[in-house]
Amino acid sequence: MLDKADGQIFTGSVRLVHAVGMHARPAVKLTKLAKKFQAQISVRVAGAPEWINAKSVAKIMAMRAAHGSTIEIKASGSDAEAAVAALVDLVASDFPDGAG
């Protein structure tokens, strides 16, 4: 569905440096930030078969991304490029307080 959306698809990937992986606090921060963008945003652990809606905290938690895994991000829509950059930055900077 996402692949057929209007406009260009932007992608990014980033290593999850958070000590305990994608747990409650990082997942909440990630979805909060994703919701600030209009774009449809999907994420997955590198190589996983399914893409997951980055705006669903339940699904992000269910992804069970472990410490050290690589998170792939793709987005389409008006602010897709900024969305990918912001999410990569959030994960790379280890979910700082006040972000998201």
How far is residue 60's CA from residue 4's CA, in Å, rounded to a whole number?
23
Task: State the minimum distance, in angstroms, from the CB of residue 3 to another protein.
Answer: 19
Quick check: 84 and 49 in contact, CB under 8 A? no
Binding positions for another protein, rule: CB under 8 A: 15, 17, 20, 23-25, 27-28, 31-32, 53, 55-59, 61-62, 64, 89, 92-97
Q: Is 67 a catalytic residue?
A: no
DSSP states of 16-53 as a string? ---TT-S-HHHHHHHHHHHTTSSSEEEEEETT-SS-EE
Task: State the minimum distance, in angstroms, from the CB of residue 28 to another protein.
Answer: 5
Which of the following is catalytic: 23, 32, 35, 59?
23
- Catalytic amino acids? 23
